[in-house]
Structure 1
Protein backbone atom coordinates (compact mmCIF):
# COMPACT_ATOMS: atom_id res chain seq x y z
CA UNK A 1 0.00 0.00 0.00
CA UNK A 2 1.16 3.49 -0.87
CA UNK A 3 1.87 5.84 2.03
CA UNK A 4 0.92 9.44 1.33
CA UNK A 5 -1.33 10.64 4.18
CA UNK A 6 -2.64 13.72 2.32
CA UNK A 7 -3.61 11.64 -0.74
CA UNK A 8 -5.20 8.97 1.46
CA UNK A 9 -7.30 11.64 3.23
CA UNK A 10 -8.34 13.12 -0.13
CA UNK A 11 -9.39 9.66 -1.33
CA UNK A 12 -11.39 9.01 1.84
CA UNK A 13 -13.07 12.41 1.48
CA UNK A 14 -13.90 11.49 -2.12
CA UNK A 15 -15.33 8.18 -0.86
CA UNK A 16 -17.58 10.10 1.54
CA UNK A 17 -18.87 12.20 -1.37
CA UNK A 18 -19.57 9.03 -3.38
CA UNK A 19 -21.32 7.38 -0.43
CA UNK A 20 -23.57 10.40 0.12
CA UNK A 21 -24.44 10.73 -3.56
CA UNK A 22 -24.57 7.12 -4.79
CA UNK A 23 -24.89 4.98 -1.69
CA UNK A 24 -22.81 2.03 -0.58
CA UNK A 25 -23.35 0.12 -3.84
CA UNK A 26 -21.88 3.02 -5.77
CA UNK A 27 -18.73 3.10 -3.67
CA UNK A 28 -16.18 1.53 -5.96
CA UNK A 29 -12.49 2.24 -6.35
CA UNK A 30 -13.17 3.60 -9.81
CA UNK A 31 -15.91 5.94 -8.52
CA UNK A 32 -13.56 7.26 -5.84
CA UNK A 33 -10.82 7.77 -8.44
CA UNK A 34 -13.26 9.79 -10.58
CA UNK A 35 -14.51 11.84 -7.60
CA UNK A 36 -10.96 12.59 -6.44
CA UNK A 37 -9.81 13.40 -9.97
CA UNK A 38 -6.93 10.93 -9.83
CA UNK A 39 -5.80 8.31 -12.34
CA UNK A 40 -7.74 5.06 -12.46
CA UNK A 41 -6.22 2.57 -10.04
CA UNK A 42 -5.04 5.13 -7.50
CA UNK A 43 -7.58 4.17 -4.82
CA UNK A 44 -6.71 0.49 -5.12
CA UNK A 45 -3.09 1.44 -4.40
CA UNK A 46 -4.16 2.90 -1.04
CA UNK A 47 -6.84 0.47 0.12
CA UNK A 48 -6.67 -3.32 0.07
CA UNK A 49 -10.44 -3.72 -0.37
CA UNK A 50 -13.79 -1.96 -0.10
CA UNK A 51 -14.15 -2.97 3.56
CA UNK A 52 -11.05 -0.95 4.37
CA UNK A 53 -12.41 2.00 2.41
CA UNK A 54 -15.78 1.78 4.23
CA UNK A 55 -14.08 1.62 7.63
CA UNK A 56 -11.75 4.52 6.96
CA UNK A 57 -14.62 6.61 5.60
CA UNK A 58 -16.48 6.03 8.87
CA UNK A 59 -13.50 7.21 10.88
CA UNK A 60 -12.98 10.25 8.68
CA UNK A 61 -16.64 11.27 8.97
CA UNK A 62 -16.26 11.33 12.75
CA UNK A 63 -13.25 13.64 12.38
CA UNK A 64 -15.13 15.93 10.01
CA UNK A 65 -18.15 16.14 12.31
CA UNK A 66 -16.22 16.85 15.50
CA UNK A 67 -15.93 20.55 16.36
CA UNK A 68 -12.60 22.04 17.36
CA UNK A 69 -11.88 22.55 21.06
CA UNK A 70 -11.94 26.32 20.46
CA UNK A 71 -15.45 26.12 19.02
CA UNK A 72 -16.60 24.05 21.99
CA UNK A 73 -15.05 26.47 24.49
CA UNK A 74 -16.79 29.37 22.76
CA UNK A 75 -20.17 27.65 23.01
CA UNK A 76 -19.61 26.75 26.67
CA UNK A 77 -19.09 30.33 27.83
CA UNK A 78 -22.61 30.70 29.31
CA UNK A 79 -23.66 29.05 32.57
CA UNK A 80 -24.59 25.34 32.43
CA UNK A 81 -28.38 25.62 32.04
CA UNK A 82 -31.10 23.98 30.03
CA UNK A 83 -30.93 27.03 27.72
CA UNK A 84 -27.25 26.25 27.08
CA UNK A 85 -28.14 22.64 26.23
CA UNK A 86 -30.69 23.97 23.71
CA UNK A 87 -28.03 26.26 22.24
CA UNK A 88 -25.65 23.30 21.93
CA UNK A 89 -28.32 21.16 20.23
CA UNK A 90 -29.18 23.95 17.76
CA UNK A 91 -25.45 24.30 17.08
CA UNK A 92 -25.34 20.53 16.44
CA UNK A 93 -28.11 20.83 13.84
CA UNK A 94 -26.27 23.72 12.13
CA UNK A 95 -22.97 21.80 12.12
CA UNK A 96 -24.56 18.66 10.70
CA UNK A 97 -26.38 20.74 8.07
CA UNK A 98 -23.03 22.22 7.05
CA UNK A 99 -21.60 18.67 6.95
CA UNK A 100 -24.68 17.21 5.22
CA UNK A 101 -22.60 15.05 2.89
CA UNK A 102 -20.79 13.46 5.82
CA UNK A 103 -24.03 12.85 7.68
CA UNK A 104 -25.66 11.19 4.67
CA UNK A 105 -22.53 9.09 4.12
CA UNK A 106 -22.68 7.98 7.75
CA UNK A 107 -26.29 6.90 7.27
CA UNK A 108 -25.18 4.84 4.27
CA UNK A 109 -22.39 3.31 6.34
CA UNK A 110 -24.83 2.41 9.11
CA UNK A 111 -27.00 0.56 6.62
CA UNK A 112 -23.99 -1.14 5.06
CA UNK A 113 -22.84 -2.17 8.54
CA UNK A 114 -25.87 -4.46 8.78
CA UNK A 115 -24.21 -6.56 6.05
CA UNK A 116 -20.51 -6.13 6.91
CA UNK A 117 -19.46 -7.41 10.34
CA UNK A 118 -16.09 -5.61 10.34
CA UNK A 119 -17.74 -2.29 9.51
CA UNK A 120 -20.44 -2.92 12.13
CA UNK A 121 -17.77 -3.57 14.76
CA UNK A 122 -15.89 -0.39 13.83
CA UNK A 123 -19.01 1.79 13.78
CA UNK A 124 -20.23 0.29 17.07
CA UNK A 125 -16.87 1.14 18.61
CA UNK A 126 -16.66 4.64 17.14
CA UNK A 127 -20.25 5.71 17.79
CA UNK A 128 -20.22 4.24 21.30
CA UNK A 129 -16.99 6.11 22.03
CA UNK A 130 -18.47 9.40 20.81
CA UNK A 131 -21.62 8.86 22.86
CA UNK A 132 -19.56 8.10 25.98
CA UNK A 133 -17.44 11.22 25.34
CA UNK A 134 -20.64 13.27 25.05
CA UNK A 135 -21.92 11.85 28.33
CA UNK A 136 -18.62 12.66 30.08
CA UNK A 137 -18.64 16.14 28.52
CA UNK A 138 -22.20 16.78 29.72
CA UNK A 139 -21.47 15.59 33.24
CA UNK A 140 -18.03 17.24 33.50
CA UNK A 141 -19.51 20.60 32.49
CA UNK A 142 -22.35 20.16 34.99
CA UNK A 143 -25.05 20.55 32.40
CA UNK A 144 -28.50 19.65 33.77
CA UNK A 145 -29.43 15.99 33.59
CA UNK A 146 -27.59 12.70 33.80
CA UNK A 147 -26.19 10.08 31.43
CA UNK A 148 -29.70 8.97 30.42
CA UNK A 149 -30.55 12.59 29.55
CA UNK A 150 -27.67 12.58 27.06
CA UNK A 151 -28.72 9.21 25.63
CA UNK A 152 -32.30 10.42 25.08
CA UNK A 153 -31.02 13.68 23.51
CA UNK A 154 -28.77 11.60 21.25
CA UNK A 155 -31.69 9.47 20.08
CA UNK A 156 -34.00 12.46 19.62
CA UNK A 157 -31.42 14.46 17.68
CA UNK A 158 -30.41 11.55 15.43
CA UNK A 159 -34.09 11.04 14.61
CA UNK A 160 -34.58 14.74 13.91
CA UNK A 161 -31.50 14.83 11.66
CA UNK A 162 -32.56 11.66 9.85
CA UNK A 163 -35.89 13.26 8.91
CA UNK A 164 -34.29 16.62 8.12
CA UNK A 165 -31.79 15.09 5.65
CA UNK A 166 -33.72 12.21 4.11
CA UNK A 167 -37.35 13.40 4.02
CA UNK A 168 -37.12 17.18 4.45
CA UNK A 169 -40.75 17.74 3.44
CA UNK A 170 -41.89 15.92 6.60
CA UNK A 171 -40.58 18.82 8.71
CA UNK A 172 -40.85 21.54 6.06
CA UNK A 173 -43.46 23.51 8.02
CA UNK A 174 -41.56 23.11 11.28
CA UNK A 175 -39.12 25.61 12.75
CA UNK A 176 -36.19 23.31 13.56
CA UNK A 177 -34.84 25.63 16.25
CA UNK A 178 -38.22 25.65 17.98
CA UNK A 179 -38.43 21.86 17.66
CA UNK A 180 -34.96 21.48 19.18
CA UNK A 181 -36.03 23.77 22.03
CA UNK A 182 -39.09 21.56 22.60
CA UNK A 183 -36.95 18.41 22.65
CA UNK A 184 -34.59 19.96 25.19
CA UNK A 185 -37.45 21.27 27.35
CA UNK A 186 -39.02 17.81 27.34
CA UNK A 187 -35.83 15.82 27.97
CA UNK A 188 -33.55 18.00 30.08
CA UNK A 189 -34.58 18.68 33.69
CA UNK A 190 -34.72 22.21 35.06
CA UNK A 191 -31.58 23.39 36.78
Structure 2
Protein backbone atom coordinates (compact mmCIF):
# COMPACT_ATOMS: atom_id res chain seq x y z
CA UNK A 1 0.00 0.00 0.00
CA UNK A 2 1.38 3.42 -1.02
CA UNK A 3 2.00 5.77 1.87
CA UNK A 4 2.03 9.55 2.04
CA UNK A 5 5.37 10.72 3.55
CA UNK A 6 3.81 13.92 4.87
CA UNK A 7 1.01 12.03 6.61
CA UNK A 8 3.52 9.57 8.04
CA UNK A 9 5.56 12.46 9.48
CA UNK A 10 2.39 13.99 10.93
CA UNK A 11 1.51 10.68 12.57
CA UNK A 12 4.96 10.37 14.13
CA UNK A 13 4.78 13.92 15.48
CA UNK A 14 1.32 13.18 16.85
CA UNK A 15 2.73 10.07 18.53
CA UNK A 16 5.39 12.23 20.21
CA UNK A 17 2.67 14.47 21.64
CA UNK A 18 0.72 11.48 22.95
CA UNK A 19 3.83 9.87 24.43
CA UNK A 20 4.89 13.01 26.26
CA UNK A 21 1.39 13.65 27.61
CA UNK A 22 0.16 10.14 28.43
CA UNK A 23 3.25 7.97 28.65
CA UNK A 24 4.01 4.74 26.82
CA UNK A 25 0.82 2.97 27.89
CA UNK A 26 -1.23 5.72 26.31
CA UNK A 27 0.58 5.48 22.98
CA UNK A 28 -1.88 3.44 20.94
CA UNK A 29 -2.68 3.60 17.26
CA UNK A 30 -6.12 4.96 18.09
CA UNK A 31 -4.65 7.71 20.28
CA UNK A 32 -2.32 8.70 17.45
CA UNK A 33 -5.23 8.82 15.00
CA UNK A 34 -7.16 11.11 17.33
CA UNK A 35 -4.16 13.37 17.97
CA UNK A 36 -3.41 13.65 14.26
CA UNK A 37 -7.11 14.13 13.44
CA UNK A 38 -7.15 11.34 10.85
CA UNK A 39 -9.62 8.49 10.25
CA UNK A 40 -9.56 5.53 12.61
CA UNK A 41 -7.12 2.88 11.44
CA UNK A 42 -4.74 5.30 9.70
CA UNK A 43 -1.80 4.80 12.06
CA UNK A 44 -2.09 1.01 11.90
CA UNK A 45 -1.73 1.27 8.12
CA UNK A 46 1.52 3.21 8.45
CA UNK A 47 3.28 1.26 11.21
CA UNK A 48 3.71 -2.50 11.33
CA UNK A 49 3.52 -2.65 15.13
CA UNK A 50 3.82 -0.56 18.26
CA UNK A 51 7.53 -1.43 18.31
CA UNK A 52 7.81 0.07 14.83
CA UNK A 53 5.99 3.18 16.03
CA UNK A 54 8.29 3.51 19.06
CA UNK A 55 11.32 3.16 16.79
CA UNK A 56 10.09 5.87 14.42
CA UNK A 57 9.29 8.17 17.32
CA UNK A 58 12.81 7.81 18.70
CA UNK A 59 14.39 8.68 15.35
CA UNK A 60 12.09 11.66 14.84
CA UNK A 61 12.80 13.08 18.30
CA UNK A 62 16.52 13.16 17.58
CA UNK A 63 15.88 14.86 14.25
CA UNK A 64 13.79 17.53 15.98
CA UNK A 65 16.45 18.17 18.60
CA UNK A 66 19.32 18.47 16.14
CA UNK A 67 20.89 21.84 15.33
CA UNK A 68 20.04 23.87 12.26
CA UNK A 69 22.76 23.21 9.65
CA UNK A 70 23.22 26.97 9.26
CA UNK A 71 24.26 27.20 12.92
CA UNK A 72 26.99 24.60 12.39
CA UNK A 73 28.09 26.27 9.17
CA UNK A 74 28.38 29.61 10.92
CA UNK A 75 30.22 28.01 13.84
CA UNK A 76 32.76 26.53 11.44
CA UNK A 77 33.82 30.06 10.49
CA UNK A 78 34.48 31.07 14.11
CA UNK A 79 37.52 30.37 16.30
CA UNK A 80 37.14 26.84 17.69
CA UNK A 81 37.60 27.90 21.29
CA UNK A 82 35.90 27.79 24.69
CA UNK A 83 33.49 30.59 23.76
CA UNK A 84 32.18 28.59 20.80
CA UNK A 85 31.85 25.41 22.88
CA UNK A 86 29.76 27.39 25.37
CA UNK A 87 27.68 28.82 22.53
CA UNK A 88 26.95 25.33 21.19
CA UNK A 89 25.86 24.01 24.60
CA UNK A 90 23.71 27.04 25.32
CA UNK A 91 22.13 26.58 21.90
CA UNK A 92 21.47 22.92 22.71
CA UNK A 93 19.83 23.84 26.01
CA UNK A 94 17.67 26.44 24.29
CA UNK A 95 16.56 24.08 21.51
CA UNK A 96 15.49 21.37 23.89
CA UNK A 97 13.78 23.79 26.24
CA UNK A 98 11.70 25.01 23.32
CA UNK A 99 10.83 21.42 22.36
CA UNK A 100 9.91 20.25 25.86
CA UNK A 101 7.41 17.76 24.45
CA UNK A 102 10.05 16.03 22.35
CA UNK A 103 12.47 15.63 25.22
CA UNK A 104 9.83 14.38 27.64
CA UNK A 105 8.75 11.85 25.01
CA UNK A 106 12.37 10.70 24.79
CA UNK A 107 12.44 10.10 28.54
CA UNK A 108 9.25 8.06 28.25
CA UNK A 109 10.95 6.02 25.54
CA UNK A 110 13.90 5.39 27.84
CA UNK A 111 11.60 4.11 30.57
CA UNK A 112 9.68 1.92 28.14
CA UNK A 113 12.97 0.53 26.82
CA UNK A 114 13.60 -0.98 30.27
CA UNK A 115 10.59 -3.24 29.65
CA UNK A 116 10.87 -3.78 25.88
CA UNK A 117 14.13 -5.47 24.77
CA UNK A 118 13.63 -4.63 21.08
CA UNK A 119 13.08 -0.97 21.86
CA UNK A 120 16.09 -1.00 24.19
CA UNK A 121 18.25 -2.34 21.37
CA UNK A 122 17.17 0.23 18.80
CA UNK A 123 17.18 3.17 21.23
CA UNK A 124 20.63 2.22 22.52
CA UNK A 125 21.91 2.08 18.96
CA UNK A 126 20.41 5.47 18.04
CA UNK A 127 21.70 7.26 21.13
CA UNK A 128 25.13 5.62 20.90
CA UNK A 129 25.47 6.66 17.26
CA UNK A 130 24.48 10.22 18.10
CA UNK A 131 26.98 10.37 20.94
CA UNK A 132 29.80 9.07 18.76
CA UNK A 133 28.86 11.60 16.09
CA UNK A 134 29.03 14.42 18.65
CA UNK A 135 32.42 13.22 19.89
CA UNK A 136 33.71 13.08 16.32
CA UNK A 137 32.39 16.57 15.58
CA UNK A 138 34.04 17.99 18.70
CA UNK A 139 37.42 16.41 18.01
CA UNK A 140 37.47 17.17 14.28
CA UNK A 141 36.42 20.79 14.81
CA UNK A 142 39.36 21.46 17.09
CA UNK A 143 37.16 22.56 19.97
CA UNK A 144 38.95 22.47 23.34
CA UNK A 145 38.83 19.18 25.21
CA UNK A 146 38.94 15.50 24.35
CA UNK A 147 36.62 12.50 24.28
CA UNK A 148 36.16 12.59 28.04
CA UNK A 149 35.17 16.25 27.79
CA UNK A 150 32.28 15.41 25.48
CA UNK A 151 31.19 12.50 27.68
CA UNK A 152 31.15 14.76 30.74
CA UNK A 153 29.16 17.42 28.88
CA UNK A 154 26.73 14.78 27.61
CA UNK A 155 26.03 13.52 31.12
CA UNK A 156 25.93 16.97 32.74
CA UNK A 157 23.67 18.50 30.09
CA UNK A 158 21.24 15.58 30.20
CA UNK A 159 20.96 15.87 33.98
CA UNK A 160 20.44 19.64 33.78
CA UNK A 161 17.81 19.33 31.06
CA UNK A 162 15.85 16.62 32.90
CA UNK A 163 15.84 18.75 36.06
CA UNK A 164 14.81 21.88 34.18
CA UNK A 165 12.01 20.25 32.20
CA UNK A 166 10.53 18.03 34.90
CA UNK A 167 11.05 19.92 38.18
CA UNK A 168 11.87 23.50 37.21
CA UNK A 169 11.28 24.70 40.76
CA UNK A 170 14.48 22.95 41.89
CA UNK A 171 16.55 25.37 39.82
CA UNK A 172 14.29 28.38 40.35
CA UNK A 173 16.29 31.59 40.48
CA UNK A 174 19.38 30.02 38.93
CA UNK A 175 20.75 31.57 35.74
CA UNK A 176 20.79 28.46 33.53
CA UNK A 177 22.69 30.22 30.75
CA UNK A 178 25.49 31.04 33.18
CA UNK A 179 25.29 27.54 34.62
CA UNK A 180 25.78 25.99 31.18
CA UNK A 181 28.80 28.26 30.63
CA UNK A 182 30.27 27.11 33.95
CA UNK A 183 29.68 23.44 33.08
CA UNK A 184 31.49 23.79 29.77
CA UNK A 185 34.34 25.80 31.27
CA UNK A 186 34.96 23.20 33.98
CA UNK A 187 34.67 20.28 31.53
CA UNK A 188 37.35 21.68 29.22
CA UNK A 189 39.65 22.85 32.02
CA UNK A 190 42.06 19.95 31.40
CA UNK A 191 44.38 20.01 28.36
CA UNK A 192 43.17 18.39 25.16
CA UNK A 193 44.13 14.71 25.34
CA UNK A 194 44.81 14.43 21.64
CA UNK A 195 43.30 14.71 18.24
CA UNK A 196 42.26 12.27 15.60
CA UNK A 197 40.89 12.91 12.16
CA UNK A 198 37.36 11.96 11.22
CA UNK A 199 34.97 13.11 8.48
CA UNK A 200 33.19 16.30 9.50
CA UNK A 201 29.66 15.56 10.73
CA UNK A 202 26.69 17.63 11.99
CA UNK A 203 26.98 19.30 15.36
CA UNK A 204 25.85 18.60 18.90
CA UNK A 205 22.59 16.86 19.68
CA UNK A 206 21.04 15.63 22.84
CA UNK A 207 20.34 12.06 23.81
Structure 2-normalised TM-score?
0.88
The alignment yields a C-alpha RMSD, in angstroms, of 1.3
Contiguous gaps of at least 5 residues in structure 1: none
What does residue range 48-67 of structure 1 map to in structure 2 within 5 Å? Answer: 48-67=48-67
- Whether the 8 Å CA contact 2:3–2:46 is kept in 1: the answer is yes
Please state how far the C-alpha of 1:190 moved relative to its aligned partner. Answer: 6.5
Larger RCO, structures 1/2 (Cα 8 Å, 6+ apart):
2
Runs of 4+ in 1 over 4 A off after TM superposition: none
Return the structure number with greater helix share.
Answer: 1
Find the aligned partners of 2:22 and 2:75 in 1 and give their Cα distance. Answer: 35
Q: SS in structure 1 opposite 2:39?
A: coil
Deviations 1:120-174 (A, max 9, x none): 1111111111100100100111001101100000000000000011111111111
Deviations 1:81-133 (A, max 9, x none): 11211111101001111221111110110111111111111111111111001
- Whether the 8 Å CA contact 2:67–2:92 is kept in 1: the answer is no
Find the aligned partners of 2:35 and 2:43 in 1 and give their Cα distance. Answer: 11
Contiguous gaps of at least 5 residues in structure 2: 192-207
Find the aligned partners of 1:75 and 1:108 in 2 and give their Cα distance. Answer: 32
- Whether the 8 Å CA contact 1:65–1:95 is kept in 2: the answer is yes
Q: Give the count of matched residue pairs.
A: 191
Q: SS in structure 2 opposite 1:143?
A: coil
Task: Point out the more displaced range, 74-83 or 143-152.
Answer: 74-83
Structure 1-normalised TM-score?
0.95
Please state how far the C-alpha of 1:68 moved relative to its aligned partner. Answer: 2.8
